[in-house]
Chains A and B, each alone.
Chain A
C-alpha cells in the first residue's frame, strides 16, 4: 500500500526512479533540478538504493554515460534543466538513435542568456525534434506516476523519454503525493529485459551504430541503413501512443490514478471555447475556465500531456467544432510563434469545423501568470478577436 507524503516534484522524481529500481544514475547539478541529483546520491550512499551513481563532470557526459550503461543492459536514470539539457543536445540525438530506453527528468527552466533560473518550457520544447518522447506533468503526483509509466513505455519500444515538469512551481513546492509501495511498482514494471546482446559471457562483435545503406550481413540478411533506421524511429514514436495509453490504463488498474494518456480535458463536455496548454500552466488554465464558467462562458481546458508524439488525433477530436481555441504556452519558435499552437494548428488543418484561434506566449523566465489574465485573453477570442502575441510583456 502506498502512503501519502508531503514532497516536492523533485523528490517525487527521485523516489520514482528508486521505486523503478534504476541500476545506473548519472546526473550533473543545475538549478532547479539539483535536489534530484542530491537525493539519489544520498539514497545510493546510504544503501537504500542499490545502484551505480556516476558523478560526472558535465551534462554531455551524464547522458553519454547512461547511454553506454543502457547499451550494456542496465536500467538508467538522469535529470537536468535548461542549459544542461541544451549541453546534452548531441547526446539526445545519440540516445534516440541508439534506441536506448532512458528516462530523464527535465525540470523546465528558462534558457540563458540572459540568465534566469525560473521557469518556462523553452528548454524542452526546443528539443522536441531529437527523437525523444516528451511528457509534461501537471503536478507532483503526475511526475511520480509518469516516471514509473515512462520506464514501462520506453523499455517496450526502446525509445528514451523525458518527463518534464515546471521548475520551482512544481520542483520546489511541497504537496501531498501518494507514494506507492515497492511491491505495487514491481507488479507494474517488470525487470529490464537485457537486450545488450551479451548472452552469458560471450559478446557479439557487432558495431551497431554506423549505418549507411541497407546491406546484407554475413548470413545474407538485409540490415537497415541510416534512413531505414530513422524511418523506424519515426514509425515507432508515432505508434508509441498505444503503449502510452495502455501503460496509463494498466497503471490506473493497479494504482487507481489515470493521467489520460496523451491529452486530458477539463469541463470540455459541453464546452464551446477551449484553452490549450501544457504542464502546470494547463492546471492554471482550469482555474481560468472555472472563472469563465462563473461568468456564463462555456470554457474548458485541453491539456497536452504527451507533446511528442504529437497527439494529432486527440487534438482534432477535442478541438474540432468548438467556437474558439486559445493557446497558452511558455516557449516560442523564434521567427514564427508558439510551438504548441503551430503544431496544433497543423493538426487541425484537415478538420471541417475550424474554430477561431488565438495564441499567447506567457510566463517566460518565471513571469507570473494569473488565472484572470488567462481568462481575459480567452474572452478576447470569445469576442471574435484573434491574436498571436505575448501576454504581459512590457513593451519598453
Chain B
C-alpha cells in the first residue's frame, strides 16, 4: 500500500534543526524523507563535495544523525564500493550504504565512478539530487541544467544545450531498481526509498531538488515549484523495477487523465529563465513533450 498520510511516516527526525542549507532547500526536504525511509541506525552515506557537505555541517557539529563519509567530488561511486567491500571484509552486516551526490557530482565529474560502481554491481543506493547546477560553488551550469537557464557560467547567452538524460545512461547498466522522485511528493519519495532499501544490488534514485537561490524563486515556493516541474512533465515521476517501467504519483494521474501544464508556466516563476528566448522556450517545450510521450508509451506498453 502506498503511503498516503503524514501519519504513516516515522516520527523520528534524522536531521535536527541547525543544518547549514538555505531556507527552502529541496535537497534538505529530500534528505529528511529519505532518511526516514532508510534509517534504522545502520545507514552510512557517502557524500562528495556539494551542498550536501554543507548541509552536514562542520565537524564536530553535525545536525544529521547518520554516519557520513566524505569523499572527493569525483569519487562517490568508488567510495561507496569501498565502504561495501570494507564492511563485508570485516564481517559488519546489516548496513545500508547510500551515496548522495548532486547533479554535478553525478552527471559530470562523478559519472565514471558511478558507472564503475553500477557495472560492478555494488550493493548500494545511489541518489542524485538534481538541482540542475553547481550550487555549492555558486550556480554554475552542469550538464543537468536545462536549456535557456542563466547560470554563472552561462551568464549572457543562457544555457544552449538540453539536459543530459542521466536516467537512460544509468538504465543502460541494467539495474534492478531505478526511480525518480521529488520532495514535493514526499509520500512517493518515501515509498521509493523504502522499497529500494530492500532491493539487492545497485539502485539509482534521481530526485528533482529545487533550489530557491539557484533558480531564483521565493523560499516559500519550494513545494509549488517542485509540483510544477512534475505537472509540466519537466520532471516525471516513475520507477523501473527489474526493467518494468511504471509512472507513479502525480505523473501517473497525469498519464491517466488530465493535461500537462505548459513549460511557460514553469519558467515564468524563476529568474534563471529571465532571458529565455522564444526559440529556446519552444525547444524546451518540444524536448519535454518528446520525453513525456516516450515515457507514456513505455508506461502503457509495460502496464497495458
A interface list, Cβ under 8 A from B:
23-24, 26, 51-52, 54-58, 60-62, 64-74, 76, 90-91, 94, 194, 196-198, 201-212, 215-218, 223
Contacts and interface: CB of A to CB of B under 8 A. Distances in A.
29 contacts: A23-B90, A56-B120, A58-B113, A61-B113, A64-B72, A65-B78, A67-B79, A68-B69, A68-B79, A68-B81, A68-B86, A69-B86, A71-B82, A74-B86, A74-B90, A94-B71, A94-B75, A194-B90, A201-B42, A203-B66, A204-B67, A207-B67, A210-B53, A210-B57, A210-B70, A211-B59, A212-B58, A218-B60, A223-B59
Contacts of B112: 57-58, 61
Nearest to B60: A217
Given A52-B86, A90-B74, 20 more contacts: A23-B86, A24-B82, A24-B86, A52-B88, A54-B120, A57-B115, A58-B113, A61-B112, A61-B113, A69-B85, A69-B89, A72-B44, A72-B92, A73-B86, A74-B90, A94-B72, A201-B42, A205-B65, A210-B59, A223-B59
A372 B80 CA distance: 53
Contacts of B77: 61
B41 interface: yes
B94 A201 contact: yes
Nearest to B74: A60
Nearest to B45: A207
B54 to A, nearest CB: 9
A60 B75 contact: yes
Nearest to A204: B67
A210 B89 contact: no
Given A60-B74, A61-B77, A68-B80, A207 B68 contact: yes
Given A23-B89, A56-B78, A201-B42, A64 B71 contact: yes
A194 B113 CA distance: 27
B227 to A, nearest CB: 32
B28 to A, nearest CB: 16
Contacts of A64: 71-72, 74-75, 78-79, 82, 113
6 smallest CB-CB distances across A and B, nearest first, come from A68-B82, A69-B86, A65-B82, A61-B78, A57-B116, A64-B75
A206 B59 contact: yes
Given A24-B82, A24-B89, A51-B89, A210 B113 contact: no
Contacts of B89: 23-24, 51-52, 69, 74
B13 to A, nearest CB: 13
B67 A56 contact: no
Contact of A69 (B82, B113, B115): B82
Interface in B154-202: none
B140 interface: no
Contacts of B53: 210
A91 B71 CA distance: 9
Contacts of A210: 53, 56-59, 70
B64 interface: yes
Interface residues of B, number: 44
A57 B113 contact: yes
Contacts of A205: 62, 64-68
A66 B44 contact: no
Contacts of B69: 68, 71-72
A71 B66 contact: no
A207 B120 contact: no
Given A52-B88, A64-B72, A69 B41 contact: no
Nearest to A50: B89
B253 interface: no
Nearest to B119: A57
Best-surrounded residue of A194, A197, A202, A203 (most CB of chain B within 10 A): A203
B27 interface: no
Nearest to B77: A61
A74 B61 contact: no
Nearest to B89: A23
Interface in B1-32: none
B264 interface: no
Contacts of A216: 60
B84 to A, nearest CB: 9
Nearest to A58: B112
Contact of A71 (B42, B86, B94, B120): B86
Contacts of B41: 201-203
A71 B113 CA distance: 19
A197 B59 CA distance: 15
Nearest to A26: B82
B121 to A, nearest CB: 11
Contacts of A212: 58
A58 B61 contact: no
B150 interface: no
A29 to B, nearest CB: 14
A218 B83 contact: no
Among A51, A60, A61, A73, residue most surrounded by chain B Cβ atoms (within 10 Å) = A61
